[in-house]
Structure 1
Amino acid sequence: MAGRKPKTLTDEQRSEVETLAAFLSQDQIADYFGIARATFLAMMERDTDILIRYKKGKAKAISSIANGLIQKARGGDAACMMFYLKTQAGWREKNQPDEMTLKLAASVTPKIDFSRFTPDELPVIRRFLSEL
């Protein structure tokens, strides 16, 4: 007695996998095609073309988003810079300062000559002052 013929995707559906992989999880792609996740995984295991299209779609989306992130970071977006450095360079914020924190009384107003700082130092100074 022969078993059930394994499900497969049409050529059009195979192309859709690459497009959908940029936006949807494997569960969501399986739902889109009306199959179980296990069936979709089995298809990718049996048919390397489907797996390659899935991976290619994911890689294209990641590349596109990463490119945008890097462009914004190069353009001076501090949040993008920090995100990139934390995720790609292992940077992290410490919960405790290395040195004693200076706590100013409410009546004290510091006078700082910002012209002494380089453009690269100014965002760091602003961040420090906002935490006081």
Structure 2
Amino acid sequence: MSEIPDDVLCTSDHLWIRPGNGDRVRVGVTPALLDQFGPVESLSLADDGEEIVAGDTCGDLEFSSRSWELVSPVAGEVVSVNQSVDTDLLEADPWGDGWLFDVRLSDPEELNELLDPDEYLASMGE
């Protein structure tokens, strides 16, 4: 797996969250998920303006072997969906240009529940 950037938090469901300005965060998928199931065939994401709830599905990835629901790590409003992301970009640059969407947090304290890079690696037995 590629090195995890220091400025992200992760979930056990293989999403990363990069805190931004104020109450906004960027959300993406970790390479560990992509490595586990192989190439992504398609993806669907929450819509701009959609309210998402922590623990609820906010999109999904389709692999040749299975479908993977994206479980929202935080609650808030989706304020921007990456219109440029596609299956190739998701795999080529998952920590950067392959981000999925930006969220305006309802409760910034939820970030305290997420894993730092070392905790994420430990959760995977690495």
Normalised by the length of structure 2, the TM-score is 0.21
Q: Which protein is bigger by CA-based radius of gyration?
A: 1
- Please state which structure has a larger fraction of its residues in strand: 2
Normalised by the length of structure 1, the TM-score is 0.20
- Please state which structure has a larger fraction of its residues in helix: 1
